[in-house]
Amino acid sequence: MKLRGPDLVVAGGGPAGVAAALRGRQMGAEVVLVQRGLLGGTCVHSGCIPSAAYHMSAGFLRELRAAAAAGVDATAALDWPRVQAWASRASETVAATVRTRLGHAGVAIEEREAVIGPSGADGYAGVPVVVAAGARPAAPEGTLSAESVMGLTRVPGTMHVLGGGRFSLEWADFFATAGSAVTVVASEVLPGEDRELAEFLQGALEDRGVRFTEERPGQPADAVLSADTREPALPGMTVDEFCRTSASGVWAAGDVTGPPWLSNRARLQGEAAAAGALGEPVRVRAERLARSVNTDPELAAVGLTEQQAAARGIEAAVGVADCAASAHAITLGQPAGALKLVVDPEFGEILGAHMVGTGAREVIGQVALAMTLEADYRDLPRVAYVHPSGGELITSAIAAI
């Protein structure tokens, strides 16, 4: 009797690869995931997860420093080796859950490097393959990457951060909180995001001691960080909106397809690629992907800015809700920031949402859900949001349109 081979091969064990493998199993396919090294990819071991753990430590430190305003006397200091140990434990725990999920789903794992050719993955010629090889740091010589900065033996006294992208600002914020004198060298902060909110975030960071300049200072720094410089592990692998490549039987997903470097994008593409490889094409709606900058305050967004809508010839309407009037933000002692909703007033379509302020990720997540469900923005005030909560800002923004 001939044994059945796999119906789908997934090359890569990061967010895109794991999502593709799990989606394949949900569709009833036999799936082989080929991964050299640790499961979870950059996100789990040197990206999103450890970075979030570092920022959690910084958040605790900021809260303790601000506790006196709420009637709590506290002193606090950051212990760098213990922060690193905490981040490592977080990564190990998440990596274990990834392996467990794949095991429970019945995904076969081959711990080796996959070689992709014209006929698919080596050893599985003719079997559809999803390439999820990820990306790697491309920091210039003499600079730290977003991954290597976590391996510093101590908090640097001075740091230059090259660029004004998401990861650059996140690490600038972290090290400024940890005690470094940080200078961000960038001609523009968060290009592509709402200008007013990006400038507000820059001002908040400046208020906490981060310096911004367009020219690199002449004085050397203890550490120089280039956090947003990355390149796909397999350059030139482009996909269409269904995650198909130009090669027959080959789909691709995640960072290997280029920026933006977002784990939720990688997961969505991974699921779409697996579905397409198994005969059920799914379109990826990139405009509905939420994104965030995990600074203090947070910045999060989904969809188009009002400037981008105008560039497409859309006469959009904008509603703004100020966090200063949010009971939730006030009780948290963080009333700075605002939510912007960008909508099509004629058809009721939600075109985008942009927020800087406490809870921005969760608020934008609710709007992203409404966009995915193709809700009319005029229906959102029917939701009775918990009081006090960030969700109430959505009702306030709609009332301001």
Residues 81 and 78: their CA atoms lie apart, in Å, by 9
Q: Are both 332 and 278 inside the same structural domain?
A: no
Judged against a pLDDT cut of 50, whether residue 383 lies above it is answered with yes
Q: Where is the domain boundary, 210, 225, 240? A: 225
Residues 27 and 23: their CA atoms lie apart, in Å, by 6
What CATH number is attached to the domain comprising 162? 3.50.50.60
CB 134 within 8 A of CB 155: no
Tell me the angle at which helices 15-26 and 80-105 cross, rounded to the nearest 10 degrees: 20
Domain span holding position 40:
8-137+230-286
Give the count of beta carbons closer than 10 Å to the beta carbon of residue 76. 11
> Which letter does DSSP use for residue 282 in this model?
-
What CATH number is attached to the domain comprising 343? 3.30.390.30
pLDDT at 175: 96
pLDDT at 77: 83
pLDDT in tens, 146-202: 999 999 999 999 999 999 999 999 999 999 999 999 999 999 999 999 999 999 999
Q: Are both 129 and 153 inside the same structural domain?
A: no
Domain contains 1: no
Domain contains 142: no
pLDDT in tens, 332-381: 888 999 999 999 999 999 999 999 999 999 999 999 999 999 999 999 99
DSSP SS3 for 16: helix
Q: Where is the domain boundary, 203, 225, 247? A: 225
The answer, as to whether pTM is greater than 0.85, is yes
Judged against a pLDDT cut of 50, whether residue 218 lies above it is answered with yes
Judged against a pLDDT cut of 70, whether residue 66 lies above it is answered with yes
Query: pLDDT-derived band of residue 4, with 50, 70 and 90 as boundaries?
Result: low
